[in-house]
Amino acid sequence: MKSMTGFGRGEARQESTSTTWVIECSSVNRKQLEVSINLPRDLNDLETQVRNQVSAACSRGRVSVSVKADRPIADDAMPRLDDTVAAKYLHDLRAMAVKLGMSQDISLSEIVRLPGVLVSETRETEVEEVWPVLQTALSAALKQFIEMRTTEGNHLREEMETRLATIESLAGKIAELAPTVPEHQREVLRQRLEKAGLPLPLDDERIIKEIALFADRTDISEELSRAASHLKQFRTYLASDEPVGRSLDFLIQEFFREFNTMGSKCNHAAIAHHVVAAKTELEKIREQIQNVE
């Protein structure tokens, strides 16, 4: 089992340009897989490859991938001053100043800000050359990222297993009390009849028929059986190496349905108390499932 939250960082060096590529992967909860990639502008053509590699490692969550280059500043990477363009600007600006009768004072800082005066000669990144290096850095980042997700997932599984054991115990207590519900109802009915001044023997056919109908309406054996089946299936999912978040989300809803039915069928204070306690544990498990891949 894996959590949907995690972080990983990977580096790889491109010797031809003395560049170290740094990739960071982080994720938060999402029902579906959503991959957000932040690449340098000249590497946008690699977005599909990066996305495919991330998608192969994750099935749910919003995964953010950041790609950065740590490269030395070389002499040929510094902007170059184009003397010809600067001189043309200066000549034309002075001619305009004379024509308009304005001052010809023009500073160097104003000249270098004009378009085309400073020219960048930085070598554009060769995508084919960079991808193998990025792939190495991304693999390292994803490895660390998955390890963190797995560690968090193990913590979630342990806590859910503890809560499942509590629910199993509560279901057992409900199963022990369930057969006593009809007898309890017969006693309640007898007391009501006595208070109403209509005492009847407990073996009266009408009372026996009423209790039989009540017992049929309050029978929760099917709900208990399905709850036991859900417990078994839940533990099977917890032990699986496959992504199980969606399956657990569906199963927990079925779990709630069984306990809700038990509570509505049995007009019994002790059973109602156990049902409420079980639903409290289920609610806590449901919150944890929202972070399971």
CB atoms near residue 21 (< 10 Å): 24
Rounded to an integer, what distance in angstroms lies between the CA atom of residue 211 and that of residue 213? 5
Side-chain half-sphere of 225: how many Cα atoms within 13 Å?
Answer: 4
d(CA 246, CA 60): 9
Q: What is the C-alpha R_g of the chain?
A: 36
| Under 8 Å between Cβ of 81 and 112 | yes
- Cβ partners under 8 Å of residue 143, min gap 6: 8, 10
| pLDDT score recorded for residue 290 | 92
> Cα separation of 91 and 147, whole Å?
65
* pLDDT at position 258: 94
Residue given tokens 């309890």 in the structure block: 184
Task: List per-residue pLDDT tens for the chain, 293 residues long.
Answer: 899 999 999 999 998 888 899 999 999 999 899 999 999 888 889 999 999 999 999 999 999 999 998 876 554 556 778 888 888 888 888 888 888 888 878 888 888 888 888 775 445 567 888 999 999 999 999 999 999 999 999 999 999 999 999 999 999 999 998 887 767 666 666 666 667 665 656 666 766 676 666 666 778 888 999 999 999 999 999 999 899 999 999 999 999 999 999 988 877 889 999 999 999 999 999 999 999 99
Q: What single letter denotes the amino acid at residue 32?
A: Q
Parallel, antiparallel or unpaired: strands 19-28 and 6-14: antiparallel
The whole-number pLDDT of residue 86 equals: 86
Hey, what amino acid is at 124? E
Angle, CA of 144, 149 and 155, to the nearest 5°: 130
Tokens of 119: 């020219």
Q: What is the pLDDT of residue 263?
A: 87
- Which residues, in sequence order, are CB contacts of 85 under 8 Å at separation 6+? 114, 116, 117
**How far is Cα 24 from Cα 267, in angstroms, rounded to an integer?**
57
pTM over 0.75: no
The Cα 155–Cα 118 span in angstroms is 57
Identify residue 69 by its one-letter amino acid code: A
